[in-house]
Structure 1
Amino acid sequence: MQATKVKALLEEKMPGSEVIVEGEGCDFRLTVINDVFQGAFPVKRQQIVYAHLNPYIASGEIHAVTMTTLTFSEWNQKANQG
């Protein structure tokens, strides 16, 4: 699977998201920014993203995913730190 396809998929399924995808083939590093994560614990945030990726993981198109999930406020704070 192409990184551009993963990005498009998540941005379509999670409107208002900004998705940064690194990697290729079946191993991806994701940064998903969306205010839907507000107030959610890290595991819940990952579950929200995995809900859209699970069919591709099950088929083997995606093998490994590492993700960072942030709200836009958290993203802006992180960007300003560094």
Structure 2
Amino acid sequence: MQAVEVKNLLEAQLPGTQVEVEGEGCSFQLNLISDELAGLSPVKRQQQVYAHLNAWIADGSIHAVTMKFFSRAAWAARP
């Protein structure tokens, strides 16, 4: 599994979300930039993302995922 595949899938399935992906193989770190996702509870945010990754997790293509969520303003303001 490649980072660009994860990025393309999530950006296609989560309109208005910018996804920055680090990692390769079966372990990825995701930065998700979305005002809509940032407004949800932590559990709801993760559920939104896992809903689109579950098939790859189930077949072992993805083993570990770490997620950080940012509003657009918070992403732009980071150092």
Shared fold per TM-score greater than 0.5: yes
Name the CA distance, whole Å, in 2 between partners of 1:69 and 1:58.
23
> Where does structure 2 lack aligned partners over 5 or more consecutive residues?
none
Give the CA deviation at 1:51. Answer: 0.8
1:31 maps to a residue whose letter is N
C-alpha displacement of 1:38: 4.1
Over the aligned positions, Cα root-mean-square deviation in angstroms equals 1.2
Q: Does structure 2 retain, via aligned residues, the 8 Å contact 1:46–1:69?
A: no
Report the Cα offset of residue 36 of structure 1.
1.8
Q: Which runs of 4+ in 1 moved over 3 A?
A: none
Gaps of 5+ in 1: none
**Correspondences of 1:1-82 after superposition (within 5 Å):** 1-77=1-77, 79=78, 82=79
C-alpha contact (below 8 Å) 2:38/2:69 kept by paired residues: no
Q: Give the whole-Å Cα distance in 2 for the aligned partners of 1:39 and 1:26.
A: 28
1:3-38: per-residue Cα shift (whole Å, max 9, x none)?
000000001001111100000000000001112214
* C-alpha separation in 1, matches of 2:51 and 2:36: 14
What CA distance in whole angstroms lies between the structure 2 residues aligned with 1:70 and 1:50? 17
Tell me how far apart the structure 2 counterparts of residues 75 and 29 of structure 1 sit (CA, whole Å): 16
Instruction: Give % identity.
Output: 56
